[in-house]
Chain A
Amino acid sequence: MDASVANDPLSAYRVDCEPFYQSSADEVKLFEAAYAHRLPLVLKGPTGCGKTRFVEHMAWRLQRPLITVACHEDLTAGDLIGRWLLDGEGTRWQDGPLTLAARHGAICYLDELVEARANTTVVIHPLTDTRRMLPLAPRNEIVHAHGDFQLVISYNPSPSVREMKASTRQRFCAIEFAYPDNACEAAIVAHEAGLDPERAAAIVGFGTRTRRLHGIGLDEGASTRMLVRAAMLVARGLPLPAACKLAIVDPLSDEPEAHEALQAALDAAF
């Protein structure tokens, strides 16, 4: 094992170079204020609007390691806090990502926490109030959170996902995210994909149109991430309509009516 890794269990989680993030309001200031008091944060917003990128950017800005866990329905408490493992000598305790972050002082980012079941989400409760500790029942240990530890979770409020329990919800401060306005989004798309501003604006124009079907024919309109991908394809040489079909129209919907309408709108847009 590398000596530096042995000394710094979080070295793999450090963010070395600045992740690009275009601020659209005062979210950076809000995050810094919350971090100053180590207040747990929930980032609310539609899919692909930049929540994860924002956390990466803030981790870099605050010079803290970032441990990300993508939550899902089968995530167990053990997946977060750790578990006993077997090896040749007997049993050995392995810290989970949440324990690792709390013990050594990282930002722990639980992506889409509501996807996890309620018996899993309750393990974060003692970390998110004044106790700031994590009881490891299987190991009979209490981990007091490191001074630099902060918990950030993300959440995409929509009727098709679980609701967050009030007892969990009230432990967090919240920053609300939305898709940036057209000019700002075009700048992001142009920067991320290395595309000229005119064509980036055209892709964003079409992407914004798809969001008008939100809740009517589509669960969600095209995310900024989708638009960036379309722009990357254009930058590589694909024509605009073909790139938008590949990256936006075809992935967005399987319903024939919505798909046909999207295709016709794409035909009209370029």
Chain B
Amino acid sequence: MADSADAAARTTLSHWLRLLWNLAPPLHLNGEQPFIAAGAIHLPAQIHWQQHAAAAAHAAAHLVYSPRRFDSEGLGTIARALTGLLEDARVEALAVRELPGLARLWRPLHTATPASGADFETLLQRLARALADPAYDDPHVWVRKGRALFFGEAGYALPALHGAGNVRSAAVRLGHDIGQARLQFNAKTYRVAPGYRDDHRWMWPADVLTAAPPPARAPAGDTQDDETVSVTSATVTRHAEWDRLIARLRPDWCGVIEIAAQDVFVSSAAGGDENLIRHTAAQLRGSLRTLLRRQSAARRSEEGEVFDPAALVDWQVARRRHQASEPRVYRAPATRAVRAAVWLLIDQSASTAAAYDSDGHCVLQTATTTASATALALQALGMRCTVAGFHSNGRHAVRMAIVKSFTQPVDETMQARLRGLRPAGSTRLGAALRHAAQRLAAECDEPRWVLLISDGEPHDVDVHDPRYLIDDARHAVMTAARSGVRMACLLPGQGGAGPARRIFGAGAVQTVHGLADVPRALRRLLG
């Protein structure tokens, strides 16, 4: 639950920053104090909307309005702390000019008053408040001087400091006064206050040395090898295979071992993915809705396209006999909702470990994301689906990992199991298709579809004839069609569609170059 709340908070914040400044910096909820490193915003791990929003907006304001670096040459620790403070106030003032409501977010977090004290760190907080809140009046001479330097003669609306040079010289002048007053400052224990402001590490290149990379959480079970999955609880189903050389089915030739897929709960930056999946699922509903429509036998209706001749005769007869006439004289081909059953089959052979895009996703990840969005859309439309991954290691070991059965919901467990699929082994496609078709044929729903998400052609370690498995899979597709199970194939990436077209037929294969292509591809496949 914590993970999903975490992902939701991150999604909301990233949407919000895009709305405010069209920014999409990576967001990490993993620190104690907010900081900016390498263009990414790091926020406290504990979820608190106002603190997070204030911190995220402040950090994003730096990304929008601040120069990339400040020159630390010749600046002492006091002048650097002051430079940070003045730059914080400057970007906030610019942000508030563009988005006035941000002031309501930041101002309540400034709580320093003259009663808080007059040591240097407290004076910094009082100056920060005096710069952020025009209604706050601080009697301290240094704070007033800082405010006058910051705003100049122009009132409290806009800062008079423009750019790094102005900020630096104002900081040096204010720092000089602190030195004169012999106020102590310990840079090692200093924490920027209020707590929503980042620690300025991005300003000073030399200080970056202390910045630790965000702690990567070790994904539990990430190293789990699929081969270690216990087969004791698995069932083995025998399937025939088509041998093209003898033009016969070899009965009970392949063994499909059905296993439950393993969960892998990863708290990685999956927020963006989940968001993308949900968005794609919403778009997929339109494509998949075609599965809901089926024409039933014509019946009589009060309105429609064409007259029902028999009904017209009845109507005329009734009229001439001065009887009440039946108004339903049209033939209406009514559509009625039907419940489709879909088997989403994911090819998880070793070749799907190949890189798919520049973001480091592999083909299998793209396939699981596609399956996830499709399953979500099918569930939203009230259609049932099974999601399964498969790979093989010879004809006796075609492993089918059931990610979600017909009766299970699309939920976090399914997502976790999808993440748990690992590329391994080969692609004995015919056996997998026969297995899915056999299981689907037992369902009474109509229409029944097997949708394969695969990267290319079938292959297995004990088959050396390149055409053998293609012909077998083609045979499986045609046999399934005769029992009312239709099959189609989505090909992620650049792979050749030739073998898939031979297996499924040209009209039942679509190449997709990203999740955005999926709605259109499915509409073409199923429409």
Contact = CB atoms under 8 A, between A and B. Distances in A.
A261 interface: yes
A138 interface: yes
Interface string A228-270: 0000000000000000000000000001111011101111111
B8 interface: yes
Contacts of A209: 19-20
Contacts of B285: 160
Contacts of B15: 213, 216-217, 257-258, 261-262
Most A CB contacts (10 A, CB to CB) among B19, B104, B329, B520 go to B19
Given A216-B275, A258-B15, A261-B19, A268 B99 contact: yes
Contacts of B329: 86
A163 interface: yes
Q: Secondary structure at chain B's binding surface: helix, strand, loop or mixed? A: helix
B8 A257 contact: yes
- Counting contact residues on chain A (CB < 8 A from B), the size range is 35 or more
Contacts of A215: 279, 516
Interface stretch (A54-62, A76-84, A104-112, A141-149): A76-84
Contacts of A219: 282-283
Contacts of A160: 282-283, 285-286, 519
A213 B276 CA distance: 12
A270 B100 contact: yes
B101 interface: yes
Interface of B: 8, 11-13, 15-16, 18-20, 22, 53, 57, 99-102, 104-105, 275, 278-279, 282-283, 285-286, 305-307, 315, 329, 516, 519-520, 523
Shortest beta-carbon contacts, A-B, top 6: A261-B15, A265-B19, A261-B16, A160-B283, A257-B11, A268-B101
Contact of B520 (A163, A210, A261, A266): A163
Contacts of B279: 215-217
A162 B16 contact: no
A262 B12 CA distance: 9
Contacts of B11: 217, 257, 261
A213 B286 contact: no
B305 A159 contact: no
A269 B99 contact: yes
Contact of A213 (B8, B19, B57, B104): B19
A213 B18 contact: yes
Contact of B19 (A76, A83, A210): A210
Given A84-B307, A212-B18, A268-B105, A217 B282 contact: no
Contacts of A91: 307
Given A84-B307, A212-B19, A159 B101 contact: no
5 contacts: A213-B18, A217-B279, A261-B11, A261-B19, A262-B15
A159 B19 contact: no
